[in-house]
Structure 1
Amino acid sequence: MTTTAIASTELTDLLEVLAKTRGFLRFTVQGLTDEQARLTPTASKLSLGGLIKHVRTVEEAWMRFAVGGAELMMGSVEQDWENGFRMLADETLEGLLKDYEETAAKTERLLGELDLNTAYPLPQAPWFEAGASWSVRKAAMHIIAETAQHSGHADIIRETIDGQKTMG
């Protein structure tokens, strides 16, 4: 198998897993009203609409990193962290899902164009090892992990709202 074929298979695998985790998250909110998507029925302050919004924001930030490193990532990182987890009164679930779909399409296009081996130093933050770098590949894997983690949060919130489960 050639290096190009291996890279293509790897990209296909990354995109398939990302699509699956996104699918779980989208499934979790199907059939909800905007009011239900704003509910915070668990011990946390998380809502389903807020999780969709947050996951989109994080994906966009990491894809900016994948394109140009920490400076590009941090250049427009959401300043209002708390509201980044909330579905605000002027937002609709339909609008948040549409925005998320646009982000997903852009991510898939960019990952198809970028070299997965390109690496950049991480931004300075207490949760990153000082001086560490991540490749585009690792940024893509982080997007998958972030989406999967929040899909689990969403599943618990949805089950609390009306008993629907994503799996099981």
Structure 2
Amino acid sequence: METPGSLDAHRLAGVPSDADIDLYRRLSADITAGVAVVSTSLRNRDYAATVTGFLSVSYDPPTMLVSLYAESRIGEAVEEAGTWALSLLSGRHQGAANWLASPGTPLQGLLAQVPFRRGPATGSAILDGALAYFEMRTVSVHPAATHLIVVGEVLAMGSGASPADAPDPLVHFGSGYRHLAP
């Protein structure tokens, strides 16, 4: 019997079962996160993907991190290239976010339908109208379960957002995209 104030805990014992993983997916979908696109250029080819696992690590020196699936094209490319960019998305970028989050996107012409410009420090794609962008040089990569935690020192940053886009960041919650603007 549950007493007031106690938690109904689902304990994991050893290797997680499929049911454990499904429960984790359901519960972690309620973590609200900003939506961004991470991009890099490697051997004259652009790589980009939608991400929600990123954060500011430090202001001095300006440092950020991103979590990337280790066996993904973007994970492998960012690790090898050593430089990358992160474009924070507004509500008007939802189509680009959907496209770059789709499994099986083509390698050739990946960004043909996504308006972008080249970052001045890394040459990586920065989405037009991004609320903010950060160009990074990788300082460390940490394997974590099925992902890579890539830590980067900021080389350049800025914003391409219009005043109308600023109050409408694209966020991810409950397994879908949401807007904060009314």
Q: TM-score, normalised by structure 1?
A: 0.31
Task: Return the index of the structure with the highest Cα Rg.
Answer: 2
Higher-helix-fraction structure = 1
Q: Relative CO higher for 1 or 2, CA cutoff 8 Å, sep ≥ 6? A: 1
